């Protein structure tokens, strides 16, 4: 029985961990895309690092593309088995993978135009929407808390990770050739406690081995300031005093719904000024509809809230926009309003058009509510650079820039330690740290050792470990 770490080892993205049982059954935990690694990204994504035909099953922790985004390629390259996930994850992954395929198709079309002019060989997209359709046929959903036997050697139990809708911790029972049970838990991505929408990460069964994420292994979240009042103050300042537009770039999954929910609460309290609010993104609109269908996944506070307001993601004055023509019409409208659009890091999607139309006028405000990688347009705006490039053109940044940093989908290191605290440390044979920058992993490893965890390892790419 062994485990090998193929992705998310030296990187945060590309989550892929491979388990081989004594009888040779191969289970892949996640099949994510590498993201944001420059030119190398495409090369790394095109080679999975193992033979897809030899994989018997995939167990998916959650729908984020760095965990699910290379499943269509896996199927395209010969995988014939089943992909397991929770029911809400399947709904979300379907729209995310379709969106991902369209991005790959568009990107390659752009690259091929140039290659054609240079008489170079044309490239194929990583995968297409047709590949996604084929991939989706392999999915089987397993609800939280329902133990499921994949075969006579592997059982799966999902517990709630509280990270995004449908996210799960993967708890496996592996039965070796001597009939001994080895318990391995894969954290997936762990959410923070007291989230606005989701439940807290759950306690999970005692494990012998734990594969734990460490994204925030060296960081603590900022102390929660009153994000609701901060947002209200930005709305009033922009839309009432300056009579401008408030532009909020936000991830389609999670952050958009959090912002809308805060506005919904302000509306119910009678505090929200009478202005139009637009969510301008077909992907955000689709995901919001999935959230509406899965209210049982929300935390108790939100369950209580929907008793008096059945739709926490909708109210008068709030409009969801799908069509491009309606999106473009917003740019001609000079009325004060709020526009929430994707992508969160501002490098793609309709948000770029809204920024191009508003960024140079001081009456407008751009509100940054999410993490932006270095070099992204979002980071440049967050850092208030004097001039920024959008669609190859330089724009003066005259709009106000506001930041609310208290939103996050990841547990910080104190919360990761709290998540692990349900375990008897002395019974854990080995803890593997993945999904974090090297500094974060080293720092988190040190903290765990200080707390009394016995054996904490930072695995290298493709390094195998025996499970016994
Ligand atoms: Zn995630």
What is the whole-number distance in angstroms between the Cα of residue 331 and the centre of ligand 1? 33
Q: Helices marked H in 309-412 — which ranges?
A: 324-332, 351-358, 377-382
Q: What is the mean pLDDT of residues 20-49?
A: 88
Q: Tell me which residue has tokens 């959410």.
A: 191
**How many angstroms separate the alpha carbon of residue 332 from the centre of ligand 1?**
36
Between CA 415 and CA 431 the distance in angstroms is: 17
Encode pLDDT of 147-175 as tens digits. Answer: 999 999 999 999 999 999 999 999 999 99
* Residue 394 CA, ligand 1 centroid: distance in Å: 33
pLDDT at 42: 81
CA 64 – ligand 1 centroid, Å: 5
**What is the tens place of the pLDDT at every residue in 246-297?**
999 999 999 999 999 999 999 999 999 999 999 999 999 999 999 999 988 9
**Third-level CATH fold of 2-219+409-466:** Metallo-beta-lactamase; Chain A (3.60.15)
Percent of the chain with pLDDT over 90: 84
**Tens of pLDDT, residues 108-152:** 888 899 899 999 999 999 999 999 999 999 999 999 999 999 999
Is 227-403 in CATH node 3.40.250.10? no
Q: Which residues contact 200 (CB under 8 A, 6 or more apart)?
A: 162, 191, 193, 194, 299
What is the whole-number distance in angstroms between the Cα of residue 141 and the centre of ligand 1? Answer: 19
Residue 349: per-residue pLDDT: 87
C-alpha 66 – ligand 1 centre gap (Å) = 7
**How many angstroms separate the alpha carbon of residue 40 from the centre of ligand 1?**
22
Measured in Å, residue 189 CA sits from the centre of ligand 1 at 5
> How far is ligand 1, taken at its centre, from the CA of residue 36, in Å?
15
Measured in angstroms, how far is the CA atom of residue 410 from the centroid of ligand 1?
A: 8
Rounded CA-CA distance 6/440 in Å is 19
Q: Is the pLDDT of residue 8 over 80?
A: no
Residue 409 pLDDT level (bands cut at 50, 70, 90): confident
The alpha carbon of 52 and the centre of ligand 1 are apart by a number of angstroms equal to 23
Q: What distance in angstroms lies between residue 330's CA and the mean position of ligand 1's atoms?
A: 32
Q: How much distance in Å is there from the Cα of 364 to the middle of ligand 1?
A: 32
On whether the CB atoms of residues 445 and 458 are closer than 8 A, the answer is: yes
Compute, in angstroms, the gap from residue 67 CA to the centroid of ligand 1. 7
Average pLDDT, integer, range 302-314 = 96
Ligand 1 centroid vs 18 CA: distance in angstroms? Answer: 19
Taking the centre of ligand 1 as the mean of its atom positions, its distance from the CA of residue 429, in whole angstroms, is 26
Percent helix, strand and coil across the chain, each rounded to 5? 35, 20, 45
The pLDDT of residue 348 is 84
Residue 224's pLDDT is 63
pLDDT over 80 at 10, yes or no? no
State in Å: Cα 361 to ligand 1 middle: 35
What is the whole-number distance in angstroms between the Cα of residue 165 and the centre of ligand 1? Answer: 10
| Dist. CA 13 → ligand 1 center (Å) | 9
Q: So what's the pLDDT on residue 374?
A: 76
Share of the chain above pLDDT 70, in %: 99
Alpha-carbon distance of 162 to 88, in angstroms, equals: 13
Q: How far is CA 408 from CA 14, 131, 369, in A?
A: 20, 32, 9
Write the DSSP symbol of residue 46. H
Contact 387, 397 (CB under 8 A): yes
Ligand 1 centroid, distance to 213 Cα (angstroms): 10
Q: Residue 37 has what pLDDT?
A: 67
Ligand 1 center–CA 243 separation, angstroms: 37
Question: Could you give the angle at the alpha carbon of 77 between the alpha carbons of 73 and 78, nearest 5°?
Answer: 125
178 CA to centre of ligand 1 in angstroms: 36
pLDDT of 178-200, one tens digit each?
Answer: 999 999 999 999 999 999 999 99
CB 28 within 8 A of CB 17: yes
- Block residue for tokens 């059954």: 25
> What pLDDT band is residue 401 in, cutting at 50, 70 and 90?
very high
Alpha carbons 36 and 45: distance in angstroms, whole number:
11
CA of 356 to the centre of ligand 1 (A): 30
| 91's tokens | 């709904």
What is the side-by-side order of every strand in the sheet holding 337-341? 318-321, 276-280, 337-341, 245-249, 365-368, 400-403
The residue ranking higher by pLDDT, 392 or 19, is 19
Side-chain-side CA neighbours of residue 386 (13 Å): 0
What pLDDT does residue 296 have? 87
Q: What's the gap in Å between 344 CA and the centre of ligand 1? A: 15
Q: What is the pLDDT, as a whole number, of residue 190?
A: 97
Strands (E), 208-328: 209-213, 245-249, 276-280, 318-321
What pTM does this model have? Answer: 0.93
Q: What's the CA-to-centroid distance between 233 and ligand 1, angstroms?
A: 30
For ligand 1, the distance from its centroid to the CA atom of residue 207, given in whole angstroms, is 22
- Whole-number Å distance, alpha carbon 372 to ligand 1 midpoint, is 15
- Domain parsing of the chain, residue ranges: 2-219+409-466, 227-403
Beta strands in 176-285 (DSSP E): 181-186, 209-213, 245-249, 276-280
Token pair of 244, please?
């401008």
Half-sphere exposure of 319 (CA within 13 A, CB side): 15
Query: Cα(172) to centroid of ligand 1, in Å?
Result: 20
| Distance (Å) from CA 90 to ligand 1 centroid | 15
Ligand 1 center–CA 62 separation, angstroms: 7
* Distance between Cα 160 and ligand 1 center (Å): 13
Residue-wise pLDDT for 45-93, tens only, equals: 888 989 999 999 999 999 999 999 999 999 999 999 999 999 999 999 9
Residue pair 288/279 in contact by the 8 Å Cβ criterion: yes
């Amino acid at each position: 029985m062994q485990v090998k770490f193929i992705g998310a080892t030296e990187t945060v993205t590309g989550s892929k961990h491979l388990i081989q049982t004594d009888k040779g059954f191969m289970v892949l935990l996640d099949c994510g895309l590498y993201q944001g690694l420059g030119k190398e990204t495409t090369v790394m994504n095109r080679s999975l690092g193992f033979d897809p035909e030899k994989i018997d099953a995939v167990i998916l922790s959650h729908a984020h593309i760095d965990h699910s985004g290379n499943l269509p390629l896996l199927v395209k390259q010969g995988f014939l088995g089943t992909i397991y996930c929770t029911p809400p994850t399947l709904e979300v992954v379907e729209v995310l993978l379709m969106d991902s395929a369209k991005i790959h198709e568009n990107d390659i079309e752009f690259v091929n135009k140039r290659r054609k002019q240079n008489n170079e060989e044309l490239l194929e997209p990583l995968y297409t929407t047709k590949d996604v359709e084929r991939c989706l046929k392999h999915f089987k959903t397993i609800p939280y808390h329902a133990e499921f036997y994949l075969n006579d050697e592997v059982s799966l139990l999902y517990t709630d990770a509280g990270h995004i809708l449908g996210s799960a911790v993967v708890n496996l029972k592996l039965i070796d050739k001597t009939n001994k049970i080895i318990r391995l838990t894969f954290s997936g991505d762990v959410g923070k406690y007291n989230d606005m929408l989701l439940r807290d990460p759950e306690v999970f069964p005692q494990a012998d081995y734990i594969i734990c994420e460490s994204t925030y292994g060296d960081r603590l979240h900022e102390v929660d300031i009153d994000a609701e009042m901060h947002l209200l103050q930005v709305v009033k300042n922009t839309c009432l005093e300056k009579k401008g537009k408030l532009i909020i770039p936000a991830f389609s999954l999670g952050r958009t719904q959090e912002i809308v929910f805060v506005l919904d609460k302000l509306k119910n309290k009678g505090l929200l000024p009478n202005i139009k609010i637009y969510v301008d993104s077909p992907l955000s609109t689709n995901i919001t509809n999935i959230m509406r269908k899965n209210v049982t996944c929300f935390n108790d506070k939100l369950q209580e809230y929907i008793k008096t307001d059945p739709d926490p993601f909708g109210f008068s004055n709030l409009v969801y926009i799908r069509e491009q023509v309606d999106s473009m019409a917003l740019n001609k409208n000079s009325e004060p309003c709020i526009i929430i659009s994707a992508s969160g890091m501002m490098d793609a999607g309709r948000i770029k058009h809204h920024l191009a139309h508003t960024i140079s006028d001081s009456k407008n405000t751009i509100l940054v509510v999410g993490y932006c990688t270095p070099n992204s347009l979002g980071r440049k705006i967050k850092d208030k650079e004097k001039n920024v490039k959008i669609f190859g053109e330089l724009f003066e940044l005259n709009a106000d820039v506001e930041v609310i940093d208290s939103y996050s989908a990841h547990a910080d290191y104190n919360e990761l330690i709290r998540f692990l605290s349900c375990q008897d440390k002395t019974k854990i044979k080995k803890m593997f740290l993945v999904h974090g920058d090297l500094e974060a992993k080293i720092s988190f490893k040190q903290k765990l050792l200080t707390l009394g965890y016995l054996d904490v390892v930072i695995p290298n790419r493709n390094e195998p470990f025996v499970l016994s």
